[in-house]
Amino acid sequence: MVVAIDGPAASGKSSTARWVAERLGFRHVDSGALYRAVTWLALSEAGDPAGWREEAVRALAERVALSPTAAGFEPLVDGAAVGEAIRGTDVTRNVSRVAQLGSVRTWVNERVRAAGGSHDVVVDGRDIGTVVFPEAPLKIFLVADPWERARRRLIQRLGRHPQEDEIAEETEHLVLRDSKDATQTVQARDAVLIDTTFLTQAEQVDRIVALARARSRVLASDAADAG
């Protein structure tokens, strides 16, 4: 079973996917972490981002792997875990450039599909329900007001409540990244839209777990009818 969770930056995809996976006994796959790992490697080895060539970035991707862990999967670069290094500002500013490269997208999609082929998974990203797993039995599209997304991202990064001017600046960055990612960030026609602006994280997790359980019951009864 695949649960696909898509949506714009800081809408809550990764943390919600991790939590939903834990509740369902599935594994979490963070597809954005692969784009980030390739970007991190390109920043250290491919020079000025303005001059990045697609073939060179695609060649670097060969050094990135998606490795199983107890709870999910983590990206490795040259066999070593990259941890929080891929969440830095430099990676965040340049990741959309890497995500525009068709051959890198194909490479990421293959890695993510392989993970989903061997386990029940909750996968988060931008195009999981449309491109990577168009047949996923449950698709969620998470959205939230940009100011609220910026506020949450800053709390996550700074570990404190941000000032209004800090939120305003982060909102600018988020809206810009949304526009750079717009082509691939698509709500599938059969996705359930959840606006998390006024929800707690626990509420959105509960909704998705309930939807996943309902979907499993329908699939099981369809299978019984067919048998």
Judged by CB under 6 A, does residue 13 bind ligand CDP?
yes
Is there a binding annotation on residue 103?
Answer: no
Task: Give least dist CB 20 to ligand CDP, A.
Answer: 11
Helix axes 31-45, 102-118, angle to 10 degrees: 140
Residue window 30-59: x/- pattern of binding to ligand CDP, with contact defined by CB under 6 A:
-xx--xx-----------------------
Judged by CB under 6 A, does residue 26 bind ligand CDP?
no
Q: CA 146: distance to chain centroid?
A: 17
β-partners of residue 142 are 194
Task: Give least dist CB 167 to ligand CDP, A.
Answer: 13
Is there a binding annotation on residue 70?
Answer: no
Which residue in 4, 95, 150, 208 binds ligand CDP (CB under 6 A)? Answer: 95
Is there a binding annotation on residue 115?
Answer: no
The number of CA neighbours under 13 Å toward the Cβ of 62 is 5
The number of CA neighbours under 13 Å toward the Cβ of 211 is 22
Which residue in 12, 129, 146, 162 binds ligand CDP (CB under 6 A)? Answer: 12
| Cβ-count burial 148-174 (b if 16+ within 10 Å, e if not) | bbbbbbbeeeeeeebeeeebeebbeeb
How many residues make contact with ligand CDP (CB under 6 A)?
31
Judged by CB under 6 A, does residue 74 bind ligand CDP?
no
Which residue in 4, 140, 204, 212 binds ligand CDP (CB under 6 A)? Answer: 204
Task: Give least dist CB 48 to ligand CDP, A.
Answer: 19
Compute the distance between CA of residue 98 and CA of residue 52 in angstroms, rounded to an integer: 9
Identify the CA nearest to 8 among candidates 113, 127, 100.
127
Compute the distance between CA of residue 40 and CA of residue 65 in angstroms, rounded to an integer: 13
Interface residue list for ligand CDP (CB under 6 A): 7, 9-16, 31-32, 35-36, 95-96, 99, 125-128, 152-153, 156, 177, 181, 184, 196, 199-201, 204
Residue numbering of the annotated binding site for ATP: 7-15
